[in-house]
Amino acid sequence: MLKDLGGLMKQAQEMQAKMADMQSQLEDIEITGVAGAGLVTVRLNGKGAMNGVDVDKSLLKEDESEILEDLIVAAHADARQKMEAAVADKMKEVTGGLSLPPGFNLSL
């Protein structure tokens, strides 16, 4: 049984190293969210930090501010959803599809 525990600990350490590598790679991923048929785009990295916002000049009118605000929020939500899916895919690569129990945290 002790041998099995040693093997399990080694696997956990290897997975933790892979997780650390994946975490550093997430900063290099760029996800683009779009709203208003492309009038607003938001760029996030894989950790959810916003890298930029692009707004079509047609929305830069004084009476359009509420629409612009809503489109920025929608574009961010779109990017966030895509980012979470990309992170989940990376996580599957690291864990080999292993389903971890709730509360089991391999992050550093």
- Give pLDDT tens digits for 28-54: 899 999 999 999 999 999 889 999 999
pLDDT of residue 108: 40
Nearest to 23 by CA among 103, 92, 87: 87
Cα separation of 55 and 58, whole Å?
8
Q: Which one is the CATH code of 31-94: 3.40.190.10, 1.20.120.1200, 3.30.1310.10, 3.40.50.300?
A: 3.30.1310.10
Cα separation of 27 and 8, whole Å?
30
Cα separation of 17 and 11, whole Å?
10
Nearest to 56 by CA among 76, 74, 78, 71: 71
Bridge partners for 89 per DSSP: none
- Give pLDDT tens digits for 59-98: 998 888 899 999 999 999 999 999 999 988 888 887 776 6
Task: Give the domain ranges of the chain.
Answer: 31-94
Q: What is the band of 102 on the pLDDT scale with cuts at 50, 70, 90?
A: low
